[in-house]
Amino acid sequence: MGSVETLYDGKGKVRGYLARWRDEDDQGRKKTFLLKDGLRKKDAEKHAEDEERKKRIPEPPPTPEDLWDRTVTVAELAGESITLRVPQLAENTILCMRSRWRNHIVPTQLGRTPAFDVQWTQVQTWANEMREGNSKGAVEACLGLIRRGMEIAVRDKRIPSSPAAHRIYIAGDEPPEDDQADAIVVLEVPEVACILAHLEGVMRLIATIQAHTGARVHEVLGLLKSDIDLKQRAIRFRKQAKSRTPGARAKLKTGASRRDVVIGAVLAGELESWLADHPGDGWLCLLDGEAVKYDQYKPALEKAARDAALEMEAAQRERVARGEEDSGWELSRLARLDELGEIRSHAFRHHHASVLIGMNVPLLAIARRLGHSTIGQIEKTYGHLMKVVDEAVRDAVDGAWRGHVAQRALSVPSALPQVP
C-alpha cells in the first residue's frame, strides 16, 4: 500500500511531500514532490496510487501487431526460403533458384518492398512486367519463391497474411479453354529413333538412356559404370553431374530421384556393347577421356534433331507426292516436326512418360520411375494424354461385366408379362 509523508524545512514549514510504494519485486520506492515546483499533496498521493495499481494490474501481453517485422523485404524472405531448402535439394537446383532470385527479385521494386506493406497489385504488376521477355515457367518459378518466403513468414507470425500467397494471373497467358491448350509436344518412337540415328558414340548413348528411362540429362551424365547392373537389368541413379563443376557429382534433385530403374533388352544390349568397348571403372559417359559436359551434349542433340526433322519432312513430302498420304495430314505433321527441330533433352523424358501412359502403366509406377514422390506432376504435365487411360478403364469395366450381364439375361426371367 502506498503512503505519503510530509516534508518540513529547518523552520518547521512544509516544503513538500514524499510518496512511498513497493514495486513488482517488493522493493521500496520513493519520490519527492516539492511545493516550489508547484506540486501538492494530491499529486504525491495520485502517483503512489498509480504505481500500486501497476503492480496489481499486470501489463497486457504484446499483441501480434507489436511483434510483426515491418522491415524485412520480399527479396529477403524469398532468399531465406531458398536457404531453408538447401539440405533438401540438389546443388544445381539451388544454384538455379538463387540465380532467379538474384536477377528477377532482388533488383526490383517489389523485392525492395517491406513484406509487411506489400499489396496484391504490386505483385501483379511485377509479374506482368517480368512476363515480357521471360517464359511463363520462369515467372511462375519466381512467384513460387516469393510465395514460399511469404508463407513461411506468415506461419512464423513475422508478418500478417499476405496477398503474395494468392495465385497471380500472368498477363498474356489466358486460361486454356480445354486440356489441350498447354499440352506439350510429345515425340513418338519413329521420331526419337530418327534423332538417335543422327547421333554417334557417347552422344547416342546418352540420348538412348534418356529415351528408355526418362531420366534427366544430368542424372545420365552423372552415371558411373558401377551404376549399371546388367545382371539385374537396372540402372541405379544415386547422384547427378554438377552443371558448373565438370567431373564432379552432386546429390539428386529430390529424395525421390534416388531410384533403381529397370531397363529393357534394347537398352541393356546398348549398354553391354558400350561397356565391352570401354572397360574399366569411373564415368560411364566419357569423351576424350573426360566426363561429358552438358555444353557438349546440347549442341550435338540440337543438330541431330534438326537433321532428323529435315529428313522426316523430306520423306513426308515424297509420300504425299506419290499420293500415299493426304496433304492436309502432312501440314499438321510438319507443324509437329517444327517442334522437333527445337528439341531439348527433356523431350526424351516426355517421350518416355507418354510411352508408359500409352501402355496403361499405373501412374504411380510412372511417377516413381521418373523420380517423383507423387502422381501430381504426372497428371499436371501429361493430363492431355490420359484419354487412352480412360478408354482402357472403360474397356476393363465393360469386359468385367459384359459376360455377367449376358448370363443374368439368360437365367433371370423378365418381371413383365409376355405378350401373346
CATH architecture of the domain covering 189-346: Orthogonal Bundle (1.10)
CA separation for the pair 241, 91 (Å, rounded): 10
Q: Domain ranges in the chain? A: 3-59, 74-165, 189-346, 350-400
**321: number of Cβ within 10 Å:** 11
pLDDT of residue 161: 76
CA separation for the pair 143, 167 (Å, rounded): 9
What kind and span of H or E run contains 367?
Answer: helix 363-370
Q: Of 36, 18, 17, 13, which Cα lies nearest the Cα of 28?
A: 18
CA separation for the pair 354, 363 (Å, rounded): 11
Per-residue pLDDT of the chain (420 residues; tens, 9 = 90+): 678 888 888 777 888 888 888 777 777 888 888 888 888 888 888 888 888 777 655 656 665 666 788 899 999 999 998 998 888 777 777 888 898 899 999 999 999 999 888 887 788 888 888 877 777 778 888 888 888 888 888 888 888 876 555 555 554 444 444 444 445 667 888 888 989 999 999 999 999 999 999 999 999 999 999 999 999 999 999 999 987 777 889 888 888 899 999 999 999 999 999 999 999 889 999 998 899 998 899 899 988 888 888 888 788 778 777 877 655 444 444 345 555 445 678 889 988 998 998 888 888 999 999 999 888 888 888 877 776 666 767 777 887 777 665 565 555 555 445 544
pLDDT of residue 132: 79
pLDDT of residue 177: 44
CB-based burial, 23-36: b 16+ in 10 Å, e otherwise: eeeeeeeeeebeee
Q: Of 109, 107, 100, 103, which Cα lies nearest the Cα of 81?
A: 100
**213: number of Cβ within 10 Å:** 24
pLDDT of residue 263: 94
Q: Give me 95's grid cell.
A: 544454384
CA torsion 207-209-213-215 (nearest 10°) is -70
pLDDT of residue 269: 93
CA separation for the pair 183, 411 (Å, rounded): 49
pLDDT of residue 1: 60
CA separation for the pair 174, 84 (Å, rounded): 33
For 29, half-sphere exposure in the C-beta direction (CA atoms, 13 angstrom radius) is 18
Under CATH, which number does the domain 74-165 receive? 1.10.150.130
pLDDT of residue 4: 86
